[in-house]
Every structure is written in structure tokens, then in C-alpha cells.
């Protein structure tokens, strides 16, 4: 049976179209994906992301353990800091991407993807040793994502802490709508915004208060469809589609988070070898030169020869163009390289573009 977040009945009452996503019954849209997408780009939107996994790591060995299990350098984090990172296997393949927050010198919070939570927890437990305690807090934690240029205005009217103190990739304790929460500032849309962690028993009341404030700013509740098109415009990879155990962070263009000089970590030997030898393929952005929606698994060709495959694609609501991410052979990855995408047996012209497709004004 698919799982449900505590907001399931509220989503139904709002007229959401519900789909099965990663074993969860989740809203894919309410008033329409296009309208929700534009609301986030122009005003603000509220997402229920309580299906995400939250794993707490505690103990005197917690910092060293997190550093050994992830590719980024946990040693650079101060209390309240967060970082984007990757869990890799011994071959350097991507198990999952995640956010690592340092809550204290011996306490860390890992926020992982819903589809991978059980596997991630098992993988971490298999590698944990003395001085490390793992607790899967996913079921007891509610999580809302407030995204868009009016996100600060929405949250400022409901919270006690100064939001200016919540810097990008940081986390702070606070009170929102009278409820104790943790507030972080990352996002998955290419816009400014916040994540609000709350006891799952308080999630319904918090959603009601935030949604009312969002609607006062002209925003909307938003579902998975808008979340996907927003993250694709921002060229943010989706684990399971744009990267998995058959791909490495270096191939996915995430070399900036791989700290090979920090000391030993799972997958470092393989990644060091790949860095020396050079990657055989790269994840690039594609823009179609003619109409046609590129989809996961479609072939990318150069001069009639297959050079890669599409991993994600859509028609960009913001740009009005058909866009995609795809792995292509090194040598075919330079911007403006002309390629074709096999869309249902017809070769549609496209070209390589720099990522991201969309970047918000600062």
C-alpha cells in the first residue's frame, strides 16, 4: 500500500490530482502544473515534501562518519551550516544526493530522497561503527517547502526569528505560526525559499497557516509536476533519473561537491581514478531546435551515431522552449554542439547549452 503524508486529506479537499510517487500518494497538481510553476517563478508556492527522509546521526563519531560516507567535506561545517552532498558506493556510483546539516558537534541531520530512504538508512547502518548512533526520523517529521520571490514576505509574517539570519544552506530553530520548527534555506526550484521541519502531528495546522499566507501573496499550493519542471529549468539533477549507481558525480557535473583532498571516503579511490583519466561522458543541457518533448531514455545522436541518452526533459514554461538533460560522450559536450534526439523514431534537431537553463535575478 502506498504511504500518505499527514496532509493527504487536505490535498484531496483542495482538489489535488493524486499519483503514486516513490511509494507515496502525492499531489501532482492542484489548479494545473503550468499555473503552479508560474506562481513559484513570479510569486510563491507551497509544497508538501513530507515524503522526504530525515536521518539523524549522533555521537562522538558522527562527524567522522558523515565525512566518510559523503563526498563533500563535513569538516567545513559550523553549527547550523548545511551542504549539498552525495552518497556513493565503492565504485563511485551515486546512491543518493542529500543535504547534510550540522546541528551540533556530535549531531547531524541528513535529508534524503523519499524513494531512497530505506536503502540509504540500511547503507548507513551497515557502515556505522562505534560512537555512531543512527535514527530514522522520517515518520515523525513533517516538511514543507516554501519557494519563490515572495517566500520571505510570507514567512516573515509568521515567524519570530530574523530570516536574514537564515542564510543559504543553513538551518535554524524557530517558531512559525506558534509552532516550534527548524527552518532551512535551500530549495529545489531555482528560486529563493525555505524548508520548514515540524513535528508531523503539527503539520496540518502549519500547512493551513502557511497556505493562507501564501495565498495572500498571490501564491498557490504546488504539486510534483511543477516541482519537476522548476528543478529541470534550474538544471538540478533528479536522483534515479539524472544519476544513479551507473553514473558518478564527476560525470553528472557535480565535481564541485567532491572533495578528493579531504581524506578517505567511500568511493574516493574510484573517483580519483576517473578524475585522472577523464570522464567518458558528461551530463549536459540540451535545447530542442524544433518542437518535440525529449523524454528519459531517448537516444542522442551526433552525425547519425548514438552518443548518449536523455535523462530528463520537458517544455520549459519560463523559456517557452523544449529542454532536456542528457549524458553525452565527452567531445560532444561543448555548448552549441549540434545533435539530434530520437523522439518516437524521428530525429529532432537540438544543441548543447550551458546549465542551468534558468537563473533567477539576484
Which tens digit of pLDDT belongs to each residue from 116-152? 999 999 999 999 999 999 999 999 999 999 999 999 9
Do residues 201 and 322 share a domain?
no
Grid cell, residue 215, equals: 495565498
Q: Is residue 32 part of a domain?
A: yes
Does residue 109 share a domain with residue 34?
no
Do 284 and 349 fall into the same domain? Answer: yes
Whether the pLDDT of residue 165 is over 90: the answer is: no
pLDDT in tens, 237-292: 999 999 999 999 999 999 999 999 999 999 999 999 999 999 999 999 999 999 99
Q: How many domains does the chain have?
A: 3
Q: Does one domain contain both 194 and 331?
A: no
- Is 128 a member of any domain? yes
17 and 154 share one domain = yes
Compute φ and ψ for 5, nearest 5 degrees.
-80, 165
Does residue 332 form part of some domain? yes
- Examine the domain organization and report whether 302 and 202 are in the same domain: no
Check whether residue 160 and residue 217 sit in a common domain: yes
Q: Of the residues 134, 151, 182, which one is the last residue of a structural domain?
A: 134
Q: Give residue 287's domain range.
A: 280-353
> Residue 116: its pLDDT value, please?
97
Please list, in sequence order, all residues whose beta carbon lies within 8 angstroms of the beta carbon of residue 241, skipping any fewer than 6 positions away: 296, 311, 312
CATH number where 67 lies: 3.30.70.1400
Dist CA 183 CA 62 (whole Å): 22
Q: For residue 269, is it within any domain?
A: no
CB 181 within 8 A of CB 85: no
| C-alpha angle 127-128-129 in degrees, rounded to nearest 5 | 115
- pLDDT of residue 161 exceeding 70: no
Instruction: Give yes or no: residues 153 and 217 share one domain.
Output: yes
- Whether 255 maps to a domain, the answer reads no
A 10 A CB-CB count for 142 gives 23
Classify residue 45: in a domain, yes or no: yes
CATH number, domain of 294, equals 2.40.30.110
| CB distance 49 to 143 below 8 Å | yes
> Domain check: are 23 and 83 in the same one?
no
Do both 160 and 225 map to the same domain? yes
Band (220; pLDDT cuts 50, 70, 90): very high
Please name every residue paired with 347 in a beta bridge, in sequence order, or none if there are none: 342
Query: Can you give the pLDDT at residue 222?
Result: 98
pTM across the whole model: 0.97
Last residue of a domain, one of 104, 134, 164: 134
Q: Does pLDDT of 54 surpass 70? A: yes
Q: What percent of the chain has pLDDT over 90?
A: 96
With respect to residue 12, please indicate whether it lies within any of the assigned structural domains: yes
What is the H or E stretch that residue 179 is in?
A: strand 179-184
Which CATH number does the domain housing residue 33 bear?
A: 3.30.1360.120
Round the average pLDDT of the chain to a whole number and report it: 97
Amino acid at each position: 500500500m502506498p504511504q500518505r503524508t499527514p496532509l493527504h486529506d487536505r490535498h484531496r479537499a483542495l482538489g489535488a490530482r493524486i499519483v503514486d510517487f516513490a511509494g507515496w500518494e502525492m499531489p501532482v497538481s492542484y489548479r494545473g502544473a503550468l499555473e503552479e510553476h508560474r506562481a513559484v517563478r513570479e510569486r510563491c508556492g507551497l509544497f508538501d515534501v513530507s515524503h522526504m527522509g530525515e536521518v539523524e546521526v549522533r555521537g562522538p563519531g558522527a562527524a567522522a562518519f558523515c565525512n566518510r560516507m559523503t563526498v563533500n567535506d563535513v569538516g567545513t561545517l559550523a553549527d547550523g551550516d548545511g551542504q549539498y552532498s552525495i552518497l556513493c558506493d565503492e565504485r563511485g556510483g551515486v546512491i543518493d544526493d542529500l543535504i547534510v546539516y550540522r546541528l551540533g558537534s556530535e549531531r547531524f541531520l541528513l535529508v534524503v530522497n523519499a524513494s531512497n530512504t530505506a536503502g540509504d538508512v540500511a547503507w548507513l547502518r551497515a557502515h556505522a561503527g562505534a560512537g555512531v548512533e543512527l535514527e530514522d526520523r522520517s515518520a515523525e517529521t513533517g516538511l514543507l517547502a516554501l519557494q519563490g520571490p515572495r517566500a520571505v514576505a510570507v514567512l516573515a509574517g509568521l515567524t519570530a526569528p530574523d530570516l536574514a539570519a537564515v542564510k543559504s544552506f543553513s538551518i535554524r530553530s524557530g517558531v512559525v505560526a506558534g509552532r516550534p520548527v527548524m527552518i532551512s534555506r535551500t530549495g529545489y526550484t531555482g528560486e529563493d525559499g525555505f524548508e520548514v521541519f515540524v513535528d508531523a502531528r503539527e503539520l496540518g495546522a502549519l500547512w493551513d497557516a502557511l497556505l493562507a499566507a501564501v495565498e495572500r501573496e498571490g501564491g498557490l499550493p504546488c504539486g510534483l509536476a511543477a516541482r519537476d519542471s522548476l528543478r529541470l529549468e534550474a538544471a538540478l539533477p533528479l536522483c534515479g533519473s539524472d544519476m544513479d549507481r551507473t553514473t558518478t558525480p564527476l560525470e553528472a557535473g557535480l565535481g564541485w561537491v567532491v572533495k578528493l583532498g579531504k581524506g578517505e571516503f567511500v568511493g574516493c579511490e574510484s573517483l580519483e581514478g576517473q578524475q585522472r583519466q577523464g570522464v567518458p561522458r558528461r551530463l549536459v543541457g540540451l535545447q530542442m531546435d524544433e518542437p518535440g518533448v525529449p523524454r528519459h531514455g531517448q537516444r542522442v545522436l551526433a552525425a547519425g551515431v548514438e552518443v548518449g541518452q536523455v535523462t530528463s526533459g520537458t517544455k520549459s514554461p519560463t523559456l517557452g522552449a523544449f529542454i532536456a538533460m542528457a549524458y553525452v560522450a565527452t567531445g560532444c559536450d561543448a555548448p552549441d554542439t549540434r545533435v539530434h534526439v530520437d523522439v518516437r523514431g524521428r530525429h529532432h534537431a537540438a544543441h548543447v547549452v550551458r546549465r542551468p537553463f534558468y537563473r533567477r535575478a539576484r
